[in-house]
Amino acid sequence: MKDRLISLPASIRNRLPSQAREIYQAVFTSLLSDPSFADSMADPALRIEKAHQVAVQIVRGEYSPEETPSASEDT
């Protein structure tokens, strides 16, 4: 799993704790591999951006600012 986390964007990799990065990666990867999600948007760049937005929202829902102060700096 660590190798896959290295490929995360620096903004995610550097600001989130390990468990939050794993959740982000799982959500992001799951969405992009879901045929119904892929079929809902023709443009691959839009799919990636939407998957990123959803993954960030899921992580924000899992962690409170008290638990991850560095992850909440831009909220």
Tell me the per-residue pLDDT of 16-45, one tens digit each, with 9 for 90 and over: 888 888 899 999 999 999 999 888 888 889
Tell me the per-residue pLDDT of 40-65, one tens digit each, with 9 for 90 and over: 888 889 999 999 999 999 998 886 55
Q: Which of 54, 67, 74 is nearest to 17 (CA)?
A: 67
Domain layout of the chain by residue ranges: 18-64
- Where does residue 9 rank: exposed (0-12), middle (13-18), buried (19+ CB within 10 A)? exposed
The answer to whether the CB of 23 falls within 8 A of the CB of 71 is no
Summarize the confidence of residues 5-25 as an average pLDDT.
83
